[in-house]
């Protein structure tokens, strides 16, 4: 399955919208886009996973790297729109306790 990544700068936030499957083959694209956003030192960086149908450990590792880099400059990385199967990955790895996860972008912006 193909991967589509779009970047939206809106209301002082940087949003990364990902559509498709994030696996060891596509996670490099996600990493490149996410790290480019993080380098801009905007906060929050919002990663919209609403249209991500699958994510493996390489995708999770990419998000952890982005979270760490945001923390280096005092920024925040927020996750929105987890589908049930992707949410399970976060729960099994206990990353749902580390990441700030919201239902949608509006909820994340209202935090």
Q: State the pTM of this model.
A: 0.94
Q: What was the pLDDT predicted at 12?
A: 75
Q: What was the pLDDT predicted at 13?
A: 85
For range 67-72, the mean pLDDT:
96
Domain count, the chain: 1
pLDDT band for 1, please (50, 70, 90 cuts).
low
Domain range for 54:
4-109
For the domain that residue 8 is a member of, what is the CATH number? 3.30.750.24
pLDDT band for 66, please (50, 70, 90 cuts).
very high
Q: Give the whole-angstrom CA distance, residue 41 versus residue 75.
A: 7
Task: Residue 55: name the closest of 21, 81, 80 by CA.
Answer: 21
Q: Model confidence over 80-104: pLDDT tens digits?
A: 999 999 999 999 999 999 999 999 9
Q: Give the whole-angstrom CA distance, residue 4 versus residue 2.
A: 7
Q: Give the whole-angstrom CA distance, residue 73 versus residue 91.
A: 27
Q: Is the pLDDT of residue 61 over 90?
A: yes
């Amino acid at each position: 399955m193909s991967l589509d990544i779009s970047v939206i700068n809106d209301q002082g936030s940087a949003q990364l919208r990902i559509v498709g499957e994030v696996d060891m083959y596509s996670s490099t694209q996600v990493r490149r886009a996410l790290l480019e956003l993080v380098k801009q030192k905007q906060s929050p960086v919002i990663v919209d996973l609403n249209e991500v149908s699958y994510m493996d450990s390489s995708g999770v590792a990419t998000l952890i790297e982005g979270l760490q880099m945001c923390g280096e400059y005092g920024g925040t990385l927020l996750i929105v729109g987890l589908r049930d199967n992707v949410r399970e990955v976060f729960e099994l790895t206990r990353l749902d306790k580390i990441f700030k996860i919201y239902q949608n972008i509006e909820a994340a912006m209202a935090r």
